[in-house]
Amino acid sequence: MGRSDDLVTTDGMFFQSNTLGTTYGTVYQRLIDYDDQLNPTPMLAESWQFSPDATQLQFNLRQGVKWHDGRDFTAADVKWSLERIADPKVAGGQWQRFSKWFSAIDTPDSHTVVLHLDAPRPTALDLFDQLNMVNQAAITSPNAASTAVGTGPFTLAEWRQGDSLVFNKNPAYWQSGRPLLETVEVDVTHDATALVVRLEAGGLDAISDPPLSDLARLTSDPNYTVLLTRPGYYSLGVNTQPPGTTPMLQDKRVRQALNLAIDRSHFSQAVLLGLSEPWNLPWPTYSEAYEPAKQSVTAFDLDKARALLQQAGISNGQVEIMYRSTDGEMAKWVQIYQADLAKIGITATIKALEAAAFTGATSTRQYQLQANTSAAAQYHPNTVFYFDAGIGRYFGGVEQATVDAVSSELDPAKRRQLYAQMNDYILDQSLDMVFGQTLRALVFPKRVHDLTRAVNQVTGYTDAYFTG
């Protein structure tokens, strides 16, 4: 497997989704697994039951599962893993918001876990499709950042930082006869184009996330299989609060004008090369919040944008757009957007920041507009809101009470009604303007079979094999 970035840590709770996809899933596992329509299937839990009011969730764990260190996987491990995410130092606090769901965690026996929830949580399984169970002894050891002990089909044999990772078949894996492969090696290079060259020369058996120009070509090549997923979205976030904002952004009409000046079709075709559709809300087609009729509400319309700016008394506005310097697609988009804004009398200054500086600026509200991507839209929408904590507000400016209401609603039909109201609010306020779907791709030649990529972006090697 070839990929263009390395691990940050071997801690299985560190949610680095692009790396999680091709590496962490070999070693670590979760309680459940979702199919591509969010239907849960067993993994470390064989079954589960919600109480009628969804305030209690019981997991019945699979028996005979062992950690790579030989110890049995038990309910105590699940409890420890779930209690660990309350620590803000774990994974940068990514999971801390979810930890507040659990008012108590009971383990009546070694293979039963009962979660007492703070409120009805009918979509709580989203968390358990993403959160890896981790081994307490390994995580608390002095070399925890460079070793990995899981329950998965492969064990970590070697990690040469910046170069490669080697995973060997787990001979004690709980699924009989699996995995079929003896070894998985992940080669790391910072040159994504070189990965494609090596793949086509036969030096690699699969690659993750090639450049879009190569992806478009390989998608139509009958010699290759391309697993293409769209787990998240591109968006333009607006800061309306000090210290980084500018007064005109506090006017909803100005924000709506900025939204109408986004040419989503141009972005989809010119930047994403037709591999994704124009989008103005984050939700995938299977989502309870998906409403196709609303995808054109903010269609590109410079005349309407000018009229809104005129109503707001803006004739020569100025804004600054910030983005990560490593994001190639965003770099192209901001140039397109800058040119279109000029047509309606808005001068946009573009500011490219390194990843750490970008995160610092967004978390402290030191920005006006920030072009960003998200990778969690494939879950229930309320889960997306819980992930979206880095900019001091929920996505689209949706209020806490609204998120709590939809998160605890047991009736799917009523949830859809609440999501429809939420979508109207997001589009009207134009605080987060979605303009496309992010793309993730796994590419491999036809001699490779049964590699998979799940909703959580984990690559499945368990059933993979070769022919020819």
Residue for token digits 């859809």? 416
Confidence at residue 10, expressed as pLDDT on a 0 to 100 scale: 86
- Cα separation, 299 vs 357, in Å, equals 32
**Fold assignment, 233-437:** Dipeptide-binding Protein; domain 3 (3.10.105)
Pick the closest to residue 133 from 52, 213, 71 (CA basis): 71
Q: What are phi and psi of 349, to 5 degrees?
A: -100, 135
Q: How many CA atoms within 13 Å lie on the side-chain side of 451?
A: 26
Secondary structure class of 352 (helix, strand, coil): strand
- Cα separation, 133 vs 41, in Å, equals 16
Q: Is 52 exposed, middle or buried, given 0-12, 13-18 or 19+ CB atoms closer than 10 A?
A: exposed
Residue 244: which residues within 8 A CB-CB, separation 6 or more? Answer: 361, 364, 365, 366, 367, 368
Total residues found in the chain within this entry: 468
Q: Which residues of 243-277 are buried (b: 16+ CB within 10 A; e: fewer)?
A: ebbeebbebebbbbbbbbbbbbebbbeebbbebbe
Q: CA torsion angle for 176, 177, 179, 181 (degrees, to 10)?
A: 160
Q: What are phi and psi of 22, to 5 degrees?
A: -105, -5
Confidence at residue 21, expressed as pLDDT on a 0 to 100 scale: 59
Is residue 465 within 8 A of residue 181, CB to CB? The reply is: yes
**Fold assignment, 154-227+441-466:** D-Maltodextrin-Binding Protein; domain 2 (3.40.190)
- For residue 293, how many other CB atoms are within 10 A of its CB? 6
- Cα separation, 152 vs 67, in Å, equals 8
Helix boundaries (H) for 156-237:
192-200, 212-219
Amino acid symbol at 39: N
- Cα separation, 457 vs 463, in Å, equals 16
**Which helix H or strand E contains 33, and what residues bound it?**
strand 32-34
Task: Indicate yes or no: pTM above 0.85.
Answer: yes
Structure tokens at 380: 């229930």
Task: Calculate Rg over the CA atoms of the chain.
Answer: 23
Amino acid symbol at 344: I
Pick the closest to residue 18 from 294, 327, 342 (CA basis): 327
Confidence at residue 178, expressed as pLDDT on a 0 to 100 scale: 97
Pick the closest to residue 34 from 336, 383, 372, 351 (CA basis): 383
Confidence at residue 150, expressed as pLDDT on a 0 to 100 scale: 96
Is residue 149 within 8 A of residue 135, CB to CB? The reply is: yes
The strands making up 440-445's β-sheet, listed across from edge to edge, are 154-160, 164-169, 183-188, 2-3, 207-208, 440-445, 224-229
Confidence at residue 313, expressed as pLDDT on a 0 to 100 scale: 97
Structure tokens at 114: 């009962």
Confidence at residue 97, expressed as pLDDT on a 0 to 100 scale: 86
Secondary structure class of 392 (helix, strand, coil): coil
Confidence at residue 179, expressed as pLDDT on a 0 to 100 scale: 97
Confidence at residue 295, expressed as pLDDT on a 0 to 100 scale: 84
- Cα separation, 373 vs 330, in Å, equals 9
Amino acid symbol at 110: S
Confidence at residue 79, expressed as pLDDT on a 0 to 100 scale: 98
Confidence at residue 330, expressed as pLDDT on a 0 to 100 scale: 95
Per-residue DSSP letter, 421 = H
Confidence at residue 393, expressed as pLDDT on a 0 to 100 scale: 76
CATH superfamily, with its number, for domain 29-82+101-135: Dipeptide-binding Protein; Domain 1 (3.90.76.10)
Structure tokens at 15: 């949610």
Can you give the residue ranges of every domain in the chain? Answer: 29-82+101-135, 154-227+441-466, 233-437
Residue for token digits 């100005």? 254
* Geometric angle at alpha carbon 296, from 317 and 216, rounded to 5°: 95
- For residue 198, how many other CB atoms are within 10 A of its CB? 16
Residue by residue, pLDDT tens for the chain (468 residues) are 998 878 778 888 886 554 555 677 899 999 999 998 899 999 999 999 999 999 999 999 999 999 999 999 999 999 999 999 999 888 878 888 899 999 999 999 999 999 999 999 999 999 999 999 999 999 999 888 788 999 999 999 999 988 999 999 999 999 999 999 999 999 998 888 999 999 999 999 999 999 999 999 999 999 999 999 888 899 999 999 888 899 999 999 999 999 999 999 999 999 999 998 899 999 999 999 999 999 888 899 999 999 999 999 999 999 999 999 988 899 999 999 999 999 999 999 999 999 889 988 988 889 999 999 887 788 998 888 877 655 567 889 998 889 889 999 999 999 999 999 999 999 999 999 999 999 999 999 999 999 999 888 899 999 999 998
The strands making up 45-50's β-sheet, listed across from edge to edge, are 45-50, 56-61, 112-117, 102-109
Residue for token digits 């591509």? 36
Q: What are phi and psi of 402, to 5 degrees?
A: -70, -45
pLDDT per position as a tens digit, 425-444: 999 999 999 999 999 999 99
Is residue 85 within 8 A of residue 95, CB to CB? The reply is: yes
